[in-house]
């Protein structure tokens, strides 16, 4: 238990460092996809430190300043309820997947309040789009989770991870306990939803720098933006860790970190070659094929467990 | 603060104010051919996030007001780069009634890139120069702007009503 | 101290008369009298040393029975607890004498309804409640048209209830429901459910709600939506539990859920979703809250329809949550309307600096509405989802989850359009809402947060109800709720959130230099000076892109369906009028003969049976 | 083409000169401009291309040129009027061709020609302009530039920008 608390205290720092590293390597990979040389992999750290080292702090109001703080706190608390693979369950025995689904929302909600007080219409449009995108991807995603709950008879993430546990060693590879193999359709649906959660193309309507001047971030600069970048890094870690915990069996640290990274890179590669949907199209997309696939996945699960 | 300056030099987020023909030289610099992202330079959408204000081309009095307002909205430390002959001395608009001739009278220009137009190689070279200068703390235009605020405002006031256009007077 | 329900009702009526008389002389002292008396009544209902005894009296061979079951007590406390808070909010609006009189009469009839154990007195008090409620709805002149729809739907519900009661009587020759006789009777089930579905504004019969909520007096709307609509779920549980889950299961099961319950759950889910969509597209703050109310009551129906102990616990928990946050939201909004004199969302904006307390309470309200953890909204959502997961109702889950995500959308729209964005130039001199609006909303938001930390406290209460209804209780402690699938610790998650927030906030205060405050004009507008900051407001048609996507849904509104039905009726009556009132004496004679013949034949058939 | 011009001449009684293959010009009196344009619009000149102004300072006149385009006959017709430079007032044609509203605003701003009846003669592109209209030939640009914008180097005292020169 004490070790667990230590892990919990360290988890946010590790997650921030990992998330920033993922973004940095991701930028390099995107650059290579576009036949560029690309920035160094540690570029994101430099950017973050630079932003935090900016000297001017201009704020539109109390909640404008509190928004990023609330976002960061929301992301960190979510993080603690997601196990770090099978290595450290952190607090995940004290809350289950439904709690996590709602804790994830705190960060955008806090951000939304700050953005709203920024009194810039671009930010408000960005938030309206972000919430709509959430409306779009949550429905298929919750159905994908539903099939997992059907299969494992639990909503606790730690127990879902345990149910996929095999013998983990470098020599012996027991990947076949993964829910990805048991529930392939649901895993695909969840991965499609992950694309929207991470806000990668074709679902980057929220940021859309060319349309709405980077949307929610339009009035944020300097240190606040630094906090938002950290929050984004945390967000990337949370979403990918959730996916790996549920569908790729968590696993020990040497598997967990590369797994989260490859899940992120997969969505980034898709991001690299696609243009952007209109927000209405994104809604139509998610409520079309992925939703039907999710329902098929559930029916498949019901057949499998019988 | 020299360590922080090293970080600042390696991460330059740029707001490009594209008037006139200078804008056409930017796409090759941004994209695969010259790839400025490898130096940590990426274009930004709003002044709040940017470090460099890049002015590519002539500035009419009318656009100068907006540029100054944009500059004042940026978070310091910040730098201004004048790009092309038009920002140096008016260039081909040397006798135009509407465009300004010397940008440094109104904004603290840290670096001029001369030429009509400067080639992408010139821009890259200038960015590297800027990067070195920022890392060593050589470029401090934003400090000068604060120190000599009245001097700059006096110059600006000759062209337009600064009270109406500056964010600091509201 | 012991007293009967009859005493309680009489005392409330008496309090209403006293208040009315005082208000006649002086509005302000009338309001204060009303407030004090209502606090007294709440005290009487809450204080554990006071025992409210059952009462029954017989006239002829009929016995009226009034008794408070565990379920009734829950609702009694809900109603009598909310009552003084709502009354408090009326103080600054200074209403007329009959306003308070009717308000007290509504409370009296509601208490009569929830305590009556026989059908006739239930019907009597239920109808009285509808009538007084109608009289309060039309307190404002603008609401007369909306009130017409309200009373019409009330009458339809009342008739349905009466018909159901007569049917029960025809079956059992008794005005009390007993399980054996009712088994297998769809008709009674339908007739005895319809009035409550109307009260809860479930989807096909919801048409009275948006306009009534929008037009009725602002504070009364809080009571109407937050409190009175809960009578629907009380009625449903009151009648349905008589059948028992096993009795209902006799009609067949879908996914381990009785068919009737499954249908109710689907009605609830569709109500929740469509209500949420209408809410996020509405341009009027009260209409938004009205549709939100419809949507939230849909969740209660979903929980109720699952017919498991988790589902009913979820329904009852959400009843409590919704009562608290919707009453609060309507009171806060009433305060804002009191200052602004407008209900249009596009005429508000940027009020956060002018009304900080209202903002904070509304913020807590929408967090509870969205069901996000530090408030008690999450616990009720959690129970409903657990119930859905447990019974493997995946399509329902999808619809309910879509609805609850849509709730984020309209909740954000509510807070954004009123409080965020640039301050409207016309609202420069707005002041904070008066104290009578703020105090009740602060008290209620305190409850929302407190029960968010200790989600087990209300659940213990609900467990008592479940056990009295013969169902399994939910495993819980003060801080945790656990189900067969999982569980959560409310105190842990909330306190960790608060502490991390605190740590970052302190770091922020230490490390960050003092922020330079910038005004609304100093925003990124591509260098332009916004001389009119109203142009920066993004509030009307906030989700325009969704309007395009949900276009079909909007076109297929239920109201149009009713209009079409009305049109058909008008046409029919027109034809009938032309046939009957043609001015020809022969025709009248024939008509009379025809009607007489019909009666005779029907009597003969009846006799033959 | 020539047929059309001849026909146009016959119908409207105007003195039209053919200049190039698809170009013709016509000079009318200042008072007749509205009537002429109305007639020409009836004949099929539906497109009002632009309105230009020439400052004949020696003759003390402004020449306004209305450029019209006939789509079917492919004829670019220039209708010219002369107005007095000292009292530059002419009647608007913005009710005949709605687009003329903007062109008239521009001419008003750049030359100071007033258009009677134009409902939207508000300032166009110049902001805070206090001098005589800048496109008039008696406006001395050089002098104005010399007054307004300093050209000598005097940033030495404050802050000297660095240079990147490429020859």
3-state SS of C249-282 is HCCCEECCEEHHHHHHHHHHHHHHHHHHHHHHHC
Number of residues that make up chain B:
170
CATH number at residue B18: 3.40.50.12280
Distance of CA C407 to the CA centre of its chain: 16
Q: What are the structure tokens assigned to C394, written together?
A: 């995946």
Whether residues C236 and C332 share a domain: the answer is: no
A&C contacts, CB < 8 Å? 210
Number of domains in chain C: 3
Query: Do the chains A and C touch each other, judged by at least 3 C-beta pairs below 8 angstroms?
Result: yes
Chain D: nearest CA to B130, how far in angstroms? 10
Over 80: is that where the pLDDT of C588 sits? no
Average pLDDT over residues C492-508: 83
From residue C4, alpha-carbon distances to C7, C53, C71, C126, C238 in Å are 5, 4, 17, 20, 21
Over 80: is that where the pLDDT of D151 sits? no
B-chain CB neighbours of A43 within 8 Å are: 10-11, 40
Q: Name the residue range of residue A290's domain.
A: 2-305
Nearest to B32 among A36, A43, A56 (CB): A36
C-alpha span between A244 and A225 (Å, rounded): 28
- Asked if B46 is an interface residue toward chain C (Cβ–Cβ < 8 A), one would say yes
Whether residues C103 and C49 share a domain: the answer is: yes
A-chain CB neighbours of C515 within 8 Å are: 57-59, 65
Give the pLDDT score at D29: 86
Which residue in D has a C-alpha nearest to residue B152's C-alpha?
D158
B-chain CB neighbours of C526 within 8 Å are: 66, 70
Average pLDDT, chain C: 83
B-chain CB neighbours of C530 within 8 Å are: none
Task: Give DSSP secondary structure letters for chain A.
Answer: -HHHHHHHHHHHHHHHHHHHHHHHHHHHHHHHHTT-----TTHHHHHHHHHHT----EESSHHHHHHHHHHHHHHHHHHHTS-BTTTB-TTGGGS-HHHHHHHHHHHHHHHHHHHHHTT-HHHHHHHHHHHHHHHHHHHHHHHHHHHHHHHHS---HHHHHHHT---B-SS-B-GGGSHHHHSHHHHHHHHHHHHHHHT-TTS-TTT-HHHHTTGGGGG--HHHHHHHHHHHHHHHHHHHHHHHHHHS----HHHHHHHHHHHHHHHHHHHHH--PPPHHHHHHHHTTHHHHHHHHHHHHHHHHH-
Contact of A218 with B48, CB cutoff 8 Å: yes
Nearest to A46 among B10, B32, B44 (CB): B10
Which residue in C has a C-alpha nearest to residue B15's C-alpha?
C526
Whether residues C457 and C549 share a domain: the answer is: yes
Nearest to B48 among C519, C521, C524 (CB): C524
Give the pLDDT score at A74: 87
Q: What are the structure tokens assigned to C491, written together?
A: 């105190």
Q: Which residue has the tokens 């087990």?
A: C456
Over 60: is that where the pLDDT of A168 sits? no
Nearest to A39 among B40, B48, B77 (CB): B40
Whether residues C153 and C259 share a domain: the answer is: no
Q: How many CB atoms lie within 10 A of CB D15?
A: 10
Give the pLDDT score at A145: 87
For testing contact with chain B, the best of C511, C526, C527 (most B CBs within 10 A): C527
CA angle D136, D142, D143 (to 5 degrees): 95
Average pLDDT, chain B: 84
* Cross-strand partners of D79: D26, D66
* Cross-strand partners of B99: B60
Confidence band (pLDDT; 50, 70, 90) for B1? Answer: low
Q: Name the residue range of residue D101's domain.
A: 2-148
Would D167 be classed as within a structural domain? no
Which residue in B has a C-alpha nearest to residue D146's C-alpha?
B95
Neighbours of chain C (3+ CB pairs under 8 A): A, B
Which residue in B has a C-alpha nearest to residue D153's C-alpha?
B102
For testing contact with chain B, the best of C422, C512, C513, C529 (most B CBs within 10 A): C529
B-chain CB neighbours of C528 within 8 Å are: 66
Give the pLDDT score at B170: 47
Query: Do the chains B and D touch each other, judged by at least 3 C-beta pairs below 8 angstroms?
Result: yes
Number of domains in chain A: 1
C-alpha span between C458 and C120 (Å, rounded): 32
Closest to B106 measured CA to CA, from B48, B156, B59: B156
- Asked if A36 is an interface residue toward chain C (Cβ–Cβ < 8 A), one would say no
Contact of D133 with D113, CB cutoff 8 Å: no
Average pLDDT over residues C225-240: 85
Phi, psi angle pair for C259, to nearest 5°: -55, -45
3-state secondary structure at position C139: coil
Whether residues C181 and C310 share a domain: the answer is: no
β B109-113/B79-83 pair status = parallel
Q: Which residue has the tokens 């602060």?
A: C442
Chain A: nearest CA to B159, how far in angstroms? 28
Chain C: nearest CA to B45, how far in angstroms? 10
- Asked if B44 is an interface residue toward chain C (Cβ–Cβ < 8 A), one would say no
Closest to B113 measured CA to CA, from B22, B51, B38, B32: B22
CATH number at residue D38: 3.30.460.80
Give the pLDDT score at C355: 87
Whether residues C97 and C78 share a domain: the answer is: yes
Residue of higher predicted confidence among C94 and C184: C94
C-chain CB neighbours of B73 within 8 Å are: 522, 524
- Asked if B47 is an interface residue toward chain C (Cβ–Cβ < 8 A), one would say yes
H or E, element range at D65: strand D61-70
Closest to A98 measured CA to CA, from D59, C539, C378: C378
Contact of C309 with C382, CB cutoff 8 Å: no
Number of residues that make up chain C:
609
Nearest to C529 among B47, B48, B164 (CB): B164
Chain A: nearest CA to C515, how far in angstroms? 5
Whether residues C540 and C581 share a domain: the answer is: no
A-chain CB neighbours of C485 within 8 Å are: 96, 149, 153-156
* Cross-strand partners of D76: D23, D69
Q: What are the structure tokens assigned to A263, written together?
A: 């899940």
A-chain CB neighbours of B8 within 8 Å are: 50, 53
Nearest to C527 among B48, B67, B170 (CB): B67
Whether residues C475 and C379 share a domain: the answer is: yes
Closest to C132 measured CA to CA, from C89, C155, C157, C101: C101
C-alpha span between A21 and D120 (Å, rounded): 58
Burial call C375-390: b when 16+ CB within 10 Å, e when fewer:
bbbbbbbbbbbbbbbb
Per-residue pLDDT reduced to its tens digit, A61-83: 888 888 888 888 888 888 888 88
Give the pLDDT score at D159: 65
Cβ separation of C392 and A283 shorter than 8 Å? no
3-state secondary structure at position C65: strand
- Asked if C515 is an interface residue toward chain B (Cβ–Cβ < 8 A), one would say no
Give the pLDDT score at B122: 86
Per-residue pLDDT reduced to its tens digit, B14-61: 888 887 777 888 888 888 888 888 888 888 888 888 889 888 888 888
* pTM metric for this prediction: 0.86
Number of domains in chain D: 1
Q: Which of A35-39, C89-93, C289-293, C584-588 has the lowest mean pLDDT?
A: C584-588
Q: What are the structure tokens assigned to B124, written together?
A: 């890259």
Average pLDDT over residues C403-423: 88
Over 60: is that where the pLDDT of C215 sits? yes
Give the pLDDT score at D160: 67
Cβ separation of B32 and A43 shorter than 8 Å? no
Chain B: nearest CA to D62, how far in angstroms? 21
Per-residue pLDDT reduced to its tens digit, C110-121: 888 888 888 888
Whether residues C446 and C530 share a domain: the answer is: yes
Nearest to B114 among D127, D155, D165 (CB): D165
Give the pLDDT score at C578: 76
Task: Please report the ipTM that was assigned to this predicted complex.
Answer: 0.83
Over 70: is that where the pLDDT of C144 sits? yes
C-alpha span between C35 and C15 (Å, rounded): 10
Give the pLDDT score at C277: 87
pLDDT > 90 fraction of chain C, expressed in percent and rounded? 0
Contact of B113 with B163, CB cutoff 8 Å: no
Cβ separation of C521 and B47 shorter than 8 Å? no
B-chain CB neighbours of A38 within 8 Å are: 35, 37-38
Query: Which residues 43-72 of A have a C-beta within 8 angstroms of C?
Result: 55-61, 63, 65-66, 69-70, 72
Closest to D93 measured CA to CA, from D27, D14, D38, D28: D38
End-to-end CA distance of chain C: 56
Q: Write out C194-213 in H/E/C secondary structure.
A: HHHHHHCCCHHHCCHHHHHH
Q: Name the residue range of residue C500's domain.
A: 255-556
C-chain CB neighbours of B167 within 8 Å are: 518, 521-522
For testing contact with chain A, the best of C386, C496, C534 (most A CBs within 10 A): C496
CA angle C317, C322, C323 (to 5 degrees): 100
A-chain CB neighbours of C508 within 8 Å are: 65, 69
- Asked if A204 is an interface residue toward chain B (Cβ–Cβ < 8 A), one would say no
Whether residues C114 and C32 share a domain: the answer is: yes
C-chain CB neighbours of B165 within 8 Å are: 529
Closest to B60 measured CA to CA, from B52, B68, B48: B68
Phi, psi angle pair for C279, to nearest 5°: -65, -45
Confidence band (pLDDT; 50, 70, 90) for C21? Answer: confident
Contact of B79 with B110, CB cutoff 8 Å: yes
3-state secondary structure at position D66: strand
Cβ separation of C524 and A95 shorter than 8 Å? no
Nearest to A139 among C373, C402, C523 (CB): C402
Q: Which of C354-363, C524-533, D55-64 has the lowest mean pLDDT?
A: C524-533
- Asked if D165 is an interface residue toward chain B (Cβ–Cβ < 8 A), one would say yes
Would D62 be classed as within a structural domain? yes
Q: Name the residue range of residue B29's domain.
A: 2-169
Work out the burial of residue C570: count CB atoms within 10 Å of its CB; fewer than 13 is exposed, 13-18 middle, 19 or more buried.
exposed
Give the pLDDT score at A173: 54
Whether residues C271 and C135 share a domain: the answer is: no
Contact of C90 with C34, CB cutoff 8 Å: yes
Give the pLDDT score at D14: 76
β B79-83/B12-18 pair status = unpaired
Long-range contacts of D132-136, Cβ-Cβ distance < 8 Å, separation of 24 or more: D133/D109, D134/B97, D134/B98, D134/D110, D135/D53, D135/D55, D135/D110, D135/D111, D136/D55, D136/D57, D136/D111, D136/D112
Number of domains in chain B: 1
């Amino acid at each position: 238990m004490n070790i667990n608390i230590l892990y919990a205290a360290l988890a946010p720092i590790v997650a921030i460092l990992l998330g920033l590293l993922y973004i940095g390597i991701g930028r390099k990979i995107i650059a290579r996809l576009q036949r560029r040389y690309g920035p160094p992999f540690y570029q994101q750290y430099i950017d973050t430190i630079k932003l935090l080292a900016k000297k001017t702090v201009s704020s539109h109001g109390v909640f404008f300043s509190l928004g990023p703080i609330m976002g960061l706190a929301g992301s960190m608390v979510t993080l603690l309820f997601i196990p770090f693979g099978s290595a450290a369950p952190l607090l995940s025995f004290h809350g289950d997947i439904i709690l996590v689904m709602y804790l994830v929302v705190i960060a955008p909600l806090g951000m939304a309040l700050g953005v709203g007080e920024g009194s810039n219409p671009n930010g408000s449009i960005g938030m309206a789009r972000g919430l709509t995108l959430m409306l779009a991807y949550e429905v298929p995603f919750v159905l994908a989770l539903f099939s997992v709950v059907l299969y494992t008879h639990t909503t606790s993430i730690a127990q879902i991870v345990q149910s996929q546990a095999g013998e983990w060693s470098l020599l012996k590879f027991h990947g076949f306990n993964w829910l990805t193999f048991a529930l392939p359709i649901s895993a695909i649906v969840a991965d499609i939803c992950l694309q929207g959660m991470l806000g990668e193309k074709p679902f980057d309507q929220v940021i859309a720098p060319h349309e709405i001047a980077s949307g929610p971030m339009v009035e944020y600069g300097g240190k606040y933006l630094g906090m938002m970048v950290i929050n984004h890094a945390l967000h990337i870690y949370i979403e990918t860790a959730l996916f790996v915990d549920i569908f790729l069996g968590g696993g020990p640290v040497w598997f967990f970190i590369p797994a989260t990274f490859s899940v992120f890179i997969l969505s980034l590669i898709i991001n690299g070659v696609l243009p952007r949907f209109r927000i209405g199209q994104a809604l139509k997309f998610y409520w079309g094929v992925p939703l039907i696939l999710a329902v098929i996945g559930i029916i498949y699960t019901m057949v499998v467990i019988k | 603060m020299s360590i922080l300056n090293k970080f600042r030099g390696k991460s330059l987020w740029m707001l490009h104010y594209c008037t006139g023909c200078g804008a056409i030289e930017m796409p090759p610099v941004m994209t695969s051919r010259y790839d400025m992202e490898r130096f940590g330079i990426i274009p930004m959408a709003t002044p709040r996030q940017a470090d460099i204000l890049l002015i590519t081309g002539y500035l009419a009095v009318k656009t100068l007001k907006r540029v100054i307002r944009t500059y004042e909205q940026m978070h310091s430390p910040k730098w201004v780069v004048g790009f092309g002959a038009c920002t140096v001395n008016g260039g081909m608009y040397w006798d135009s009634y509407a465009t300004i001739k010397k940008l440094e009278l109104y904004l603290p220009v840290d670096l001029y890139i001369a030429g009509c137009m400067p080639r992408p190689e010139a821009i890259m070279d200038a960015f590297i120069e800027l990067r070195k200068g920022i890392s060593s703390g050589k470029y401090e235009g934003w400090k000068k702007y604060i120190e000599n605020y009245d001097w700059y405002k006096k110059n600006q006031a000759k062209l337009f009503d600064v009270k109406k256009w500056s964010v600091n007077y509201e | 101290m012991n007293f009967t329900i009859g005493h309680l009702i009489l005392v409330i009526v008496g309090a209403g008369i006293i208040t009315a008389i005082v208000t006649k002389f002086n509005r302000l002292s009338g309001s204060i009298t009303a407030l004090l008396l209502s606090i007294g009544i709440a005290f009487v209902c809450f204080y554990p040393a006071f025992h409210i005894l059952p009462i029954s009296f017989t006239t002829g061979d009929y016995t009226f029975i009034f008794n408070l079951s565990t379920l009734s007590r829950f609702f009694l406390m809900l109603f009598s607890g909310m009552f003084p808070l709502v009354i408090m909010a009326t103080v600054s609006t200074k209403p007329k004498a009959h306003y308070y009189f009717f308000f007290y009469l509504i409370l009296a009839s509601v208490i009569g309804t929830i305590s009556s154990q026989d059908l006739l007195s239930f019907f009597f008090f239920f109808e009285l409640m509808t009538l007084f409620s109608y009289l309060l709805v039309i307190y404002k002149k603008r609401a007369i048209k909306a009130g017409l729809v309200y009373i019409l739907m009330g009458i339809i519900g009342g008739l349905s209830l009466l018909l159901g009661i007569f049917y029960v009587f025809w079956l059992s020759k008794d005005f009390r429901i007993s399980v054996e006789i009712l088994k297998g009777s769809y008709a009674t089930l339908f007739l005895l459910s319809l009035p409550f579905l109307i009260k809860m504004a479930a989807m096909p019969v919801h048409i009275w709600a948006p306009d009534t909520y929008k037009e009725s007096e602002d504070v009364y709307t809080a009571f109407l939506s937050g409190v009175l609509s809960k009578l629907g779920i009380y009625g449903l549980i009151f009648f349905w539990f008589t059948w028992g889950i096993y009795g209902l299961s006799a009609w067949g099961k879908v996914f381990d859920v009785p068919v009737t319950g499954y249908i109710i759950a689907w009605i609830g889910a569709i109500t929740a979703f469509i209500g949420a969509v209408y809410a996020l597209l509405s341009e009027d703050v009260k209409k938004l809250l009205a549709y939100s109310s419809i949507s939230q009551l849909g969740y209660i129906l979903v929980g109720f329809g699952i017919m498991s102990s988790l589902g009913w616990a979820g329904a009852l928990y959400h009843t409590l949550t919704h009562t608290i946050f919707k009453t609060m939201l309507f009171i806060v909004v009433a305060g804002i309307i009191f200052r602004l004199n407008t209900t249009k969302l596009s005429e508000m904006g940027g009020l956060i600096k002018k009304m900080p307390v209202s903002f904070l309470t509304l913020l807590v309200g929408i967090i509870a509405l969205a069901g996000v953890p530090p408030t008690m909204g999450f616990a009720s959502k959690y129970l409903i989802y657990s119930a859905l997961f447990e019974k493997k109702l995946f399509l329902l889950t999808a619809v309910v989850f879509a609805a609850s995500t849509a709730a984020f959308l309209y909740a954000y729209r509510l807070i954004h359009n009123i409080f965020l964005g640039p301050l409207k130039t016309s609202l420069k001199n707005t002041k904070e809402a008066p104290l009578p609006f703020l105090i009740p909303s602060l008290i209620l938001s305190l409850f929302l947060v407190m029960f968010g930390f200790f989600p087990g406290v209300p659940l213990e209460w609900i467990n008592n109800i479940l056990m009295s209804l013969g169902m399994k209780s939910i495993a819980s402690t003060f801080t945790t709720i656990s189900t067969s699938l999982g569980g959560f610790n409310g105190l842990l998650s909330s306190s960790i959130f608060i502490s991390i927030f605190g740590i970052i906030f302190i770091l922020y205060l230490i490390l960050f230099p003092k922020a330079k405050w910038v005004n609304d004009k100093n925003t990124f507008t591509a260098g332009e000076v916004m001389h009119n900051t109203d142009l920066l407001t993004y509030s009307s048609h906030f989700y325009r892109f969704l309007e395009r996507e949900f276009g079909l849904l909007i076109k297929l509104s239920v109201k149009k369906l009713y209009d079409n039905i009305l049109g058909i009726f008008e046409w029919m009556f027109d034809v009938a009028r032309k046939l009957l009132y043609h001015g020809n004496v022969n025709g009248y004679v024939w008509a009379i003969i025809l009607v007489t013949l019909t009666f005779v034949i029907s009597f003969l058939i009846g006799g033959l049976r | 083409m020539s047929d059309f011009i001849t026909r146009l001449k016959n119908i409207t009684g105007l003195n039209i000169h053919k200049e190039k293959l698809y170009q013709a010009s016509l000079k009318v009196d200042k008072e007749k401009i509205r009537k002429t344009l109305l007639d020409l619009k009836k004949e099929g000149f539906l497109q009002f291309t632009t309105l230009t102004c020439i400052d004949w300072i020696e003759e003390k006149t402004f020449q306004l040129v209305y450029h019209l385009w006939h789509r079917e006959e492919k004829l670019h017709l220039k209708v010219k009027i002369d107005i007095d430079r000292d009292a530059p007032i002419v009647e608007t044609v913005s009710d005949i061709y709605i687009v003329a509203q903007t062109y008239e605003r521009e001419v008003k701003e750049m030359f100071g020609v007033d258009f009677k009846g134009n409902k939207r003669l508000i300032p166009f592109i110049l902001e805070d302009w206090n001098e005589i209209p800048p496109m008039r030939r008696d406006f001395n640009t050089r002098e104005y530039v010399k007054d307004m914008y300093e050209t000598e180097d005097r940033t030495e005292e404050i802050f000297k920008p660095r240079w990147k020169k490429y020859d």
